[in-house]
Structures are given as structure tokens and as C-alpha cells.
Chain A
Amino acid sequence: MNKLSVQNEILSKSRLGELTTSGDKILEVYPFNNIEHLLEESIHTFSRSQVWNWTETVTDLEYFSAFTSYYLSDFGIDYNRVKEVFFFDGAEKIKANRISYKKFRRLYAGLLDTGKPQVYSINNDVIRFYPKLNKDYGLKIRHYKQIPVLLSQSDEIEMIPERYQHPIPEYVNAVMTAILDKENAEGQHEQSKRSLSKVKKINQQYFNKKNIAPSRIRFY
């Protein structure tokens, strides 16, 4: 599904279907200025609601002799979502140990030793190694990807497995229904509650939280 088809599905399943996609019309009933904004919010929420195992991936850290540190964003890596850094020595997988930047700064940052990386530190977007890399060790980073922002209507929600894609419009619609009901009538709390239960149900049904984040991972 691409961005446009998801939006259309949202429109077809909701009261917004009666309206145009122009911001003004939507604003009459909804506190978002347009359907794109709504979708962006929903996908972002979906993305950060838990560690989705299908977002786990391994990215090569391309060696560049001139660099003593690397910006993770250059590799499409969110620095908050790094799980491990490793490389292979022959068939043996060697993991580098992560230490805090504070500790790294005190113990290693000024040293000029080069060789196989033993420890690494991540400070904001920058990853640093000790010893400094002196050749391409084939470093790999296992991390969880962010679901990318959809910039264009034709952008595919390619990272989200298909089984999760269709629930998104339902999810959005259920939440929206709750809001509309709340807005429309004073005495409709029960309806709101029912709608909110629907949201919860959808959450449970589709966005189950069985995949628990590793203890070292924090999401912000």
C-alpha cells in the first residue's frame, strides 16, 4: 500500500469520506488540518509504540579511512535503536562492547591506538570506536529501523508487513470516531467509551505487544 491508498481507505471508512480532503473541510470535524497529517501521526505512533521485530535489521558500517567517528544517521540508523555492533573474524562473530560516552571519553577518546574495535560508544548521532579502525573490519550494526516518513503520495509503506497495513486505517478511524463522538454530544460518554474500547481492541488485536524491547534499548 502506498500513502495515497491508505489515505483513501481512511476516507472511505470514516465520516471524512463525505468530505473533501481539503484542510478546511476536515477541520470542521477534526483537529487535524488534513488527512496527511492524520496519517503521519498514526504511523509515527504505530512506529514508536513498541519494538517491532520486523524492523530489526543489520547495516554495514562502510569503512572510510579518513573518519575516526561515524554518524549513524548517514547509514539510516537511529542512534536510540542500536542493539549491537559486531564483525566477523573468519567464521567467528566478534561483538564490540558498548560503554557510555562518559566512560569512553575518560578512558579511550584521546588515544591513538588502532586495530580491531573492542569497545564503542554512542553519543547522540556519533559512534566512536577504540581502538580506532585502521582497516575495513566489515563492521555491522544490528538495529531497529524507524518507519520512514512518507513524503510522497506514492511512497510505499514498505517497511510495515502487509498484515499490519490494513489495520492502520481502521485504527485511525476508530480513534477518530471516539473524538467525533466526544465532540458532538455531552451525554455520549458511553459511546465514546465504546469507541475507545474499539481502539483498545484494535490495539490488542493488531498491535500486540509480545515483542519486548531488549533491556538496553530505550525509545524516545
Chain B
Amino acid sequence: MINTKFSKRKLKYYIDNNISYSNDQAVVNILLGDIFIGDIESAKSLADYLISNSFSFTRSSKIPVGVSYNSGETPYIKLQFAYALKKLYEMTGIASYQSEYTAILSRLNTNMDIGDTNAGLSSFVLLYDSSSILVPDFRSGFYASDSFPAIWYLASSYSTNASQCITYLKNSFDDFAGKSGIKLGFTPFYNLDLEENGTYGSPNEWYFDGPSGDETDFFHQYKTVFNLALYYWEKYRLKGKRDLNVKLILDKFFEYIIANANIPTEVSFPVLYAGSEDIYAGNEDIYAGQENLYDITYGDYNYKYAALLAVAGILKFKVDKEDNVFSYIVSILSTLISNQFTDGSFNYTSGTELEAQSYTYMAFAMYESLTKKSYYDIVNEAFNLLNIDRINETNRTTHFQKNALDFCKEQINDILTKRYFEFTHTETQLTYSSGVYEYSLDALGIDPHRIECLGYYNSNGCWEEITEISYSKLLEYRNKDSSNTRAPIYFAVNQNKLYLYYTPDRDYSIKIWHYKLEDSSLNYAKIPSLLPESWAHVLKWHVAKEVALNRGNNLREYFEIWAKKTLSNLTYNDAVDMSEEYQRASSVRWN
């Protein structure tokens, strides 16, 4: 176990205050970190900003799939962004995220497959001609590290793209093993047989020296492992099955790197180093200098490597539960933490600083996610208790009279509606528009029956509460004086509408404090929010018990004995009892 004390939040603060949004990889890393850790509000805020500020395709259809250092636009990062939006859509159900990631995938899919059969692979377009002039209108081949199968897999209509990515990555792994004799990494570059590709190498061959010139950077290897591990985990999460081809690669990679890399005591990480002379010398001595471990002399990249390796390792651990991988990851993260400065930053000094910091943030977030559970996790754990397959579309016919998803959603909301649980407490700010006094609570995602209060802070920082009155009373006031605009003093709720009186004359930053319920868009992959551990436990038992009752089999007896009489009493009634305790405690504190 590591103590992640303060690291993540301070680091995030540091990054937020120093980052430039033109550093697209760093921005996407932070977005992914927020998503992994379940910080939905931060993720939404960042994603909204990116969507509205040109983090979308602007280039012509002929070139959009390429890597261009000048434009900062790469298909790899776009695929990661699409993945983040897909996850955010699962968490929030907000349609705009769905339309955005769908558009990105549609665009990328089209442009990755111009007259060839390479849909899903990110081809490379950067090339310098003999006079060192950039020739951007050129696709040459495919970098293993730019392949991102996870999003293609999640977007079910592109599953063949995911398969294609996996096939190529396995080929890359096999080629590396064939040339080096070591089952460890990936041959970086595959020269696709594309119509534009007339000058670079032989088509349909794997190369260690591709057009970008940085193939010796071992970051290629870690990016590729991360890409695979993310796909591996997503597939397991959704299907409960391991992709055995990918497992083989990940097993070999971690087995080798754990066995051959030292855990350093200083600012140095167990990252394998591939010297360019080894790679270019030929096949026989690739990585011959295995003892040549990465060290601080290579500058700040080592943090980036270590963080990305940690993320990949945690993803693998989530599926395979291997202790040696976990211990290795903990040692890396512990070393990272020990080098954090008081301002939240790390000892990164080069131009890649923020990118490295953002990878570090992602690693901490991923680690923290190990001990947090989503509703989706809870339902699956409840199903595990009953030896039912993971929640999916087929559950509806094999185990339930109704759709398993609907059933579980009912159970979750059933318990959440019993009381005002503190972990559902949230605040939402009203957006001011001149002359507007009426708001749709549906649009704000607020249950009209679960509003605690409305208010704002005046210019002196003092609280001004807006008093609730009946709708008829509010109408009466408005009929007398509908044109007066000033600070609102009353509000009323009628059906799903919120009304203010007076009409605000400026933006008072009015906030609504309320208790959220899960919305009705729970789908089989939705992970709406993350629960406190103790409540996750209660909810799991509640769902399991109700599922057992629904199925009407003798497992009910297990639960009657196990849950009620022996271990934990974590039944539905127990949950209600506890919520009553909470109510009492809350009322005491609030008076």
C-alpha cells in the first residue's frame, strides 16, 4: 500500500495553474485521470472546455489522420479524447459527449481507411524530404504506440477496428521477439502499403527505425503497453473475459521488466533503456545490454515512463490480481511520491514537464480507483455473490423476469430515495440570463422533491437565503409586480419548473443545494458516480438480496442467514436503519 497523502490534489492544482491547453497530450491525460478517479465535475468542466475550444478536427479530410508536431493534432490523442468522452457519457448520460465521440470516431475511421484495409490504425504522415522540408501530405505507416484499441472496442460498431489493432500489436510483439529473442517489447513501426507511401522503406514490414526518428525512445514501448492494458481491462470489465492474446503480451512484458529492473533508491526508475546503437546495429543485439537500465541521465522522461508503466500495471492488476505486479507498481508510485515538492509538482525540469506531471496525475488517479467502486462494480459484485454472470444484456433472459439493468437501477434508487444520504448531496449553480426567472429542473438534473435550499452570497460574502413559497403565492406576487427586477427573495417549485421572485437583475451566482438521484439513463456500462466504501458495501448486499429474492431460489436462505443473523446485518432494513441514524445525526448538527 502507498500513502497518496496530498499528492494528487496538489499536483492537480499545480498542473491546472501551469498548463497550456495547446499541450494536448497533457490535457487529455488530466481528463483521463479525472475520469479514472471519478471526479466527474472536473472531467465535465475540462471536456466542455476542450469541445468548445477547437479540440476537434479542423484539418482537411486528406490529412487528418497524421501525426504533426506543428498542429499538435494526432489521431492517437484524438482517440484518447474520444475514449474520455465515451467514459464521460457513460458516467453522466449527457448526449453531447456521445455525439462528440461518435463524430471523432466516424471521422477517424473514414480517414484511416482510404482505399485500404487499415481502419483503426493511426498512420503516420510526418516526413522530411531531402532538403528537410516538411512534407505533411504523406502517410507512411503505423506506429504500435499510436494504436488505441480501447475506444474502438467500446464503440461496438467499430469492433473490427479493435481487432485489427490487436492483431497488429501482437504482430509487433512477435516481430520484436523474433528479432531480439526476448519476449518483451514491440517493434515500433510497420510500413503500411499505402498509395501515398512511395519512398519509405519496404511496404508491409516491421521496422525499428521509422520516419519519426525517435523510435529508440523507450516511451514507445510504455505507450503501447498502456494502450493494450487499457483495452485488456475494458474488455474484462464489460465481458468478464480476458483477451488471452493480450494477456500473453502483458504477462511477458511485466515478467521481464520486473525480473530485470532494479527498484532504485534515488530519482531514477526501473525503466529499460534501448540505446540507439543497439537498435540500428541489427537484429542480433537488440537489447543485448539488458543491464543498461534507464537512469536519471536521460532526464525527465523517466518520470513519464514510470507513471505510464504504473498505470498499465494497475490496469493489469485490476484484471489479474497479481501480487508481484502490484508490488512493483507500489514501489514506483512510492518513489514518485517521495519526490513531490511542497507546491505539488515533481522534479521535472525539461520541456516535457507538464506532460510528465500529467502522466503522474493519471497514475495516482488510477491507483486511487482501486479502492473506489462504481454502481456498476457494486452490481457486479452483488451478482458475484450469487454466482450470476456479470451484468449484461443477456441477464435479462437468463436470470430475471425483467431487464437486469432496470432491476438493478430500481434497487439502487430504491435505497437512495429512502433518505437524504450525504454522499448524494450536491450543489448546482443557476446560469443567469437577463429577464429569466423560470428554470427547468429537468434540464438541471435536479429532482424537484429533493431540493434543500436556494441561496447566494452577497457582495459582503454574507449568505442570502431565498425562501420557498407556494407556486400560487409566487404567481400572486408576480401578478402584482412582474416587471421589477432585483435580488430574488422567494422561489417556488411547480412540477419540474423552478420560479424566482423577483426576477434577478444581474448574476447573483444563485446556487441550489439538493440531493441527487441517479438518472434514468443507467445502462449496462454506466458508472454514474463513486460511492463511499461503506455505502458501497451496503448497496451490494441490498442488491444481492433483492436479486436473490427476485430469482426465487434457495440462495435466499444464504442471505437470510448470512446477512441477517451472522456477519454483517447489511440488509435493506439495516441500510434504512443507518439512514435514520444519519437523519438524526444530521438534524442535530443542523439545528
Chain A residue, CB-CB nearest to B9: A74
Tell me which residues across on chain A come within 8 A of B13, comparing CB atoms: 64, 66-67
A residues near B10, Cβ cutoff 8 Å: 64
- Closest Cβ of chain B to A196, distance in Å, is 6
Question: How many residues of A are in contact with the other chain, CB < 8 A?
Answer: 56
A33 to B240, CA, bound (A): 14
Tell me the smallest distance from the CB of A5 to a CB of chain B, in Å: 13
B282 at the A interface (CB under 8 A): no
Known contacts A103-B590, A175-B562; A71 and B9 CB within 8 A of each other: yes
Q: Which residue of A lies closest to B459 (CB)?
A: A110
Query: Which A93-116 residues sit within 8 Å CB-CB of chain B?
Result: 98-103, 105-107, 109-112
Does B217 lie at the interface of the complex (its beta carbon under 8 Å from any beta carbon of A)? no
Knowing A33-B387, A75-B6, A124-B423, the reply to whether A45 touches B567 (Cβ < 8 A) is: yes
Report whether B371 and A151 are in contact in the complex, using a CB–CB cutoff of 8 Å: yes
B298 an interface residue at 8 Å Cβ cutoff?
no
Residues of chain B within 8 A (CB-CB) of A102 are: 452-453, 589-590
Interface code A178-189, partner B: CB below 8 Å = 1, 0 otherwise? 110011000000
A183 neighbours in B (Cβ, 8 Å): 554, 557-558
- A123 at interface by CB-CB < 8 Å: yes
Question: Chain A residues near B317 (CB, 8 Å)?
Answer: 151
Minimum C-beta distance from B34 to chain A (A): 14
Candidates A36, A41, A152, A153; contact of B567 at CB < 8 Å: A41
Chain B residue nearest to A49 in the complex (CB): B568
Chain A nearest CB: distance from B267 CB in Å?
22
Cβ–Cβ contact B461 & A152, under 8 A:
no
Question: Complex: how many Å from CA A166 to CA B3?
Answer: 26
Which residue of the partner chain A has the closest CB to B8? A74
Of the candidates A105, A151, A182, which one forms a contact with B557 in the assembled complex, judged by CB atoms under 8 Å apart? A182
Q: Is the pair A42, B567 in contact by a Cβ cutoff of 8 Å?
A: yes
Interface string of A48-62 (1 = CB under 8 A from B): 100000000000001
Say whether A76 contacts B5, CB under 8 Å.
yes
**Nearest B residue to A48, CB-CB:** B534
| Contact yes or no, A111 B6, CB < 8 A | no
Contact A124 B422 (CB under 8 A): yes
Cβ contact within 8 Å between A154 and B327: yes
Q: Which of B124-132, B163-171, B186-194, B578-586 contacts A (4 or more CB under 8 A)?
A: B578-586
Report whether A109 and B387 are in contact in the complex, using a CB–CB cutoff of 8 Å.
no
Question: Quick one: CB contact mask for B442-479 with A, threshold 8 Å, 1 for yes?
Answer: 00000000001101011011110100000000000000
Q: Which residues of A contact B562 (CB under 8 A)?
A: 31, 175, 179
Chain A residues with CB under 8 A of B582: 218, 220
Cβ of A199 < 8 Å from any Cβ of B?
yes
What separation, in Å, do the CA atoms of A219 and B532 have in the docked complex?
A: 12
Q: Is B535 an interface residue (CB 8 A)?
A: yes
Is B1 a contact partner of A155 (Cβ separation < 8 A)?
yes
- The residue that A74 contacts in the complex, of B5, B370, B384, with Cβ under 8 A, is B5
Expressed in whole angstroms, the minimum distance between the Cβ of B464 and any Cβ of chain A is 9
* B532: contacting residue among A32, A76, A151, A220, CB under 8 A: A220
| Per-position 1/0 for A120-135, Cβ under 8 A of B | 0001100000000000
- B326 / chain A contacts, CB cutoff of 8 Å: 151-152
Residues of chain A within 8 A of B40, CB atoms compared = none
How near does chain B come to A46, taking the closest CB pair, in angstroms? 9
Most buried by A among B3, B321, B452: B321
For chain B residues 489-543, which have a beta carbon within 8 Å of chain A? Answer: 513, 532-535, 537-538
Contact B567 A105 (CB under 8 A): no
Please, how many angstroms separate the alpha-carbon atoms of A107 and B590 in the complex?
A: 12
Nearest chain A CB to B503 CB, angstrom units: 23
Instruction: Give complex CA distance A148, B5 in Å.
Output: 14
Interchain nearest-CB distance for A72 vs B (Å): 11
B1 touches which of A151, A219, A220 (Cβ 8 Å): A151
Residues of A within 8 A of B330 (CB): 152
- Report whether B425 and A33 are in contact in the complex, using a CB–CB cutoff of 8 Å: no
CB-CB under 8 A from A66, the residues of chain B are: 13
Q: Does B566 belong to the interface (CB within 8 Å)? A: yes
**Which chain B residues (7-34) contact chain A, with CB distance < 8 Å?**
8-10, 13
Chain A CB within 8 A of B555 CB: yes
Q: Does B480 contact A (CB under 8 A)?
A: no
Tell me, yes or no, whether A14 is within 8 Å of chain B by CB: no
B386 at the interface (CB under 8 A from A): yes
Chain A's nearest CB lies how many Å from the CB of B233?
Answer: 15
Residues of A within 8 A of B591 (CB): 100
Q: Which residue of A41, A67, A80 contacts B534 across the interface (Cβ within 8 Å)?
A: A80
B6 near A148 with CB under 8 A, answer no
Q: Contacts of B570 on A, CB cut-off 8 Å?
A: 45
B462 touches A179 (CB 8 A): no
Interface check A7, CB cutoff 8 A = no
> CB distance B557 to A152 under 8 Å?
no
Chain A residue nearest to B541 (CB atoms) is: A41
Q: Are B5 and A124 in contact (CB under 8 A)?
A: no
- Chain B: minimal CB distance from A134 (Å): 16
Nearest neighbor of A203 in chain B, beta-carbon distance = B566
A152/B323 in contact, CB under 8 A:
yes
- A109 to chain B minimum Cβ distance, whole angstroms, is 7
In the complex, the answer to whether B384 meets A37 with C-beta atoms within 8 Å is yes
Contacts of B590 in A (CB 8 A): 100, 102-103
| CB closest residue in chain A, given B458 | A110
**B457–A109 touching, CB < 8 Å:** yes
Interface 1/0 per residue, A12-46 and B, CB below 8 Å: 00000000000000010001110011000110110
B561 interfacial by beta-carbon distance below 8 Å: yes
Contact of A220 with B589 at beta-carbon distance under 8 Å, contacts A41-B567, A149-B371 already known? no
Interface presence of A8 (CB below 8 A): no
Point out the residue from A41, A78, A105, A218 that lies within 8 Å of B585, measured CB to CB: A218
Q: Is B59 an interface residue (CB 8 A)?
A: no
Cβ-defined contact, A175 with B371, below 8 A: no
CA distance A179 to B327 in the complex (A): 35
Task: Enumerate chain A residues within 8 angstroms of B261, measured Cβ to Cβ.
Answer: none
Q: Which of A149-192 contact B (CB under 8 A)?
A: 149, 151-155, 175, 178-179, 182-183, 192
Sample of 9 further A-B pairs with CB below 8 A, known A102-B589, A124-B422? A31-B386, A33-B387, A41-B567, A48-B568, A74-B5, A151-B317, A151-B371, A182-B557, A196-B566
Give residues in A with beta carbon < 8 Å to B: 27, 31-33, 36-37, 41-42, 44-45, 48, 62, 64, 66-67, 71, 74-76, 78, 80, 98-103, 105-107, 109-112, 123-124, 146, 148-149, 151-155, 175, 178-179, 182-183, 192, 196, 199, 216, 218-220
Pick 18 A–B contacts, CB within 8 A, sort by A: A31-B385, A31-B562, A45-B567, A48-B534, A74-B4, A74-B6, A102-B452, A105-B463, A106-B455, A106-B465, A109-B457, A124-B425, A146-B534, A152-B323, A178-B561, A182-B557, A182-B561, A216-B585
Q: Across the A-B interface, give the 6 residue pairs with the lowest CB-CB distance, nearest first.
A: A110-B457, A100-B589, A110-B461, A45-B568, A100-B590, A31-B558
